[in-house]
């Protein structure tokens, strides 16, 4: 399963009401680091299929949502569990760093030190 493109209308259903861990990728088409991280998120979506949902939110088209979550730099990948933002990853980072955070929160941890 690939990341799902969503907008402000679908955000509540796909992210806040999800019954799995959700990675919300705030990105824009013109952003080079966003294009670097996209294939990594696609791989993670395949590897964690059924356990983690990955959604993509175009910040150019969903500015109110980006403002609501205080997105100041893209890419920003926010991690949501049970409708709450628990962490974020800013910038194009290596795959293992994203997987480490997923694994940490998938185990039920609440705050990453």
Active site residues: 31, 34
Spatial distance between the Cα atoms of 66 and 73, rounded to a whole number of angstroms:
10
Residues 6+ apart with CB under 8 A from 75: 25, 26, 27, 31, 33, 34, 37, 90, 91, 92
């Amino acid at each position: 399963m690939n990341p799902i493109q969503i907008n402000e209308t679908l955000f509540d259903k796909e992210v806040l009401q999800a019954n799995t861990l959700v990675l919300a990728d705030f990105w824009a088409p013109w952003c080079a680091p966003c294009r670097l991280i996209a294939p990594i998120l696609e791989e993670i979506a395949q590897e964690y299929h059924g356990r983690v949902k990955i959604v993509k939110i175009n910040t150019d088209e969903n500015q109110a949502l980006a403002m609501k979550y205080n997105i100041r730099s893209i890419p920003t990948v926010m991690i949501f569990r049970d409708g709450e933002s628990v962490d974020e990853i800013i910038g194009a980072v290596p795959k293992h760093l994203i997987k480490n955070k997923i694994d940490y929160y998938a185990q039920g941890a609440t705050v990453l030190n």
